[in-house]
Amino acid sequence: MSTTEQRVAVVTGAARGIGAATAVRLAAEGRAVAVIDLDEAACKDTVEKITAAGGTALAVGCDVSDEAQVEAAVARIAEELGGPTILVNNAGVLRDNLLFKMSVSDWDTVMNVHLRGAFLMSRACQKYMVDAKFGRIVNLSSSSALGNRGQVNYSAAKAGMQGFTKTLAKELGKFGVTANAVAPGFIATDMTAATAERVGMGFEDFKAAAATQIPVQRVGEADDIANAVAFFTGEAAGFVSGQVLYVAGGPLD
Ligand SMILES: NC(=O)c1ccc[n+]([C@@H]2O[C@H](COP(=O)([O-])OP(=O)(O)OC[C@H]3O[C@@H](n4cnc5c(N)ncnc54)[C@H](O)[C@@H]3O)[C@@H](O)[C@H]2O)c1
């Protein structure tokens, strides 16, 4: 590919939150961005933000845990934008509960969206990366990978994302493809707002309480994560692979 050709990036779960901020950021870096989320119409805001700034974006409805939908979505992206060589596996859900109350369906949903979704998306996109001899895969892990009460499903999935990332790095490195994980701490999004609601706290109080436990004394914003993803997906980051970057306002225990 010539250096003037625009690279195509795919960001999953990009209708809102960290995914939306990442899609906007990658577009600002000059990427054409496929904005994937469950509902195509819900991707409209992110796409409009990108196109209003002069960028190129495509809204794609897709459940990343569904093999046929993933295959169709990636084929459509390749057709309409070009073969994707940057992939951010960001789509995620929470189904928190203590072990003794956790249902099999809550376990399976979290495994399917995070791990199965990242697997299906990476498998569908890798051929374009191998052909281009260039690729950047970034997987969203979490500080919960280190263990978090009430999240036995989510912490297992997010720790799994780290092993998945390191293996992708080893398998795909010889094709010019890097794989890295970003592990956020507390980021203010609808996901953490829903957790505040679940534990019966106002979001502002919940954020203020979290901030007291974070060395930089604030919670993270979606852009804090988008910045880290922009680094890993950059042209200059080709020798950085198989890494897990905690972005949490300080070190974690
Ligand atoms: N917010 C945090 O504090 C935090 C911390 C650590 C890790 N993370 C991770 O970062 C990622 C983004 O989190 P967020 O806070 O922006 O969450 P969010 O809930 O605001 O957004 C997640 C998006 O993913 C989409 N999604 C869910 N299931 C999907 C599926 N099957 N297919 C396609 N899209 C799907 C949702 O519709 C939603 O738009 C997630 O992987 C999350 O686990 C978030």
Full set of structural domains in the chain with CATH = 3-185+221-246 (3.40.50.720), 186-219 (no CATH)
Cβ within 8 Å of residue 151, ≥6 positions away: 94, 96, 144
- Tens-digit pLDDT profile for residues 38-71: 999 999 999 999 999 999 999 999 999 999 999 9
Q: What is the pLDDT of residue 63?
A: 99
pLDDT score for 5: 84
Active-site residue (options: 154, 186, 232, 246):
154
Mean pLDDT over 164-173 rounds to 99
pLDDT computed for residue 236 by the predictor: 97
Q: Contact, 196 vs 206, CB < 8 A?
A: yes
198 versus 2: the higher-pLDDT residue is 198
pLDDT at 189 over 90: yes
Residue 35 pLDDT level (bands cut at 50, 70, 90): very high
The 10s digit of each residue's pLDDT in 209-242 is 999 999 999 999 999 999 999 999 999 999 999 9
CB-based pocket (< 6 A), ligand 1: 12-13, 15-19, 36-38, 63-65, 90-93, 113, 117, 140, 142, 184, 186-187, 189-192
Indicate the pTM of the whole model: 0.98
Mutation test residue for ligand 1: of 16, 18, 140, 214, the one with most atoms within 8 Å of CB: 18
Kindly state the average pLDDT of the residues 168-172: 98
With bands split at pLDDT 50, 70 and 90, how would you rate the model's confidence at 3? low
Strand spans (E) along 13-142: 32-37, 57-61, 84-89, 135-140
Which residue has a Cα nearest atom 5 of ligand 1? 184
Is residue 208 over pLDDT 50? yes
Q: Residues 6 or more apart from 81 whose CB is under 8 A from it?
A: 8, 32, 34, 56, 58
Q: Is 154 a catalytic residue?
A: yes
Mean pLDDT, residues 104-112: 98
